[in-house]
């Protein structure tokens, strides 16, 4: 995980992929605390395809 920014109810998690791209997710703060997430740790992302937004920056 390359970045973790806490918000009031959820945190923004940024995961650097091996391809050089990034995956950004919002995770409830309760789940962040339960999983003891921290910058630099290896993580696995699981999500429903219908909840994903794919975007490219030009």
**Letter string b/e over residues 33-50, b meaning 16 or more CB atoms within 10 A of that residue's CB:** eeeeeeeeeeeeeeeeee
pTM: 0.79
Spell 2-12 as b/e; 16+ CB within 10 A means b: eebeeeeebbe
**DSSP bridge partners of 24:** 14
pLDDT tens, position by position, 3-55: 999 999 999 999 999 998 899 999 999 999 999 999 999 999 898 989 888 88
Helix (H) or strand (E) holding 29: helix 29-34
């Amino acid at each position: 995980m390359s970045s973790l920014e806490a918000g009031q109810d959820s945190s923004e998690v940024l995961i650097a992929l091996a391809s050089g791209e990034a995956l950004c997710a919002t995770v409830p703060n309760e789940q962040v605390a339960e999983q003891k997430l921290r910058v630099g740790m290896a993580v696995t992302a699981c999500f429903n395809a219908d909840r994903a937004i794919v975007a490219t920056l030009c």
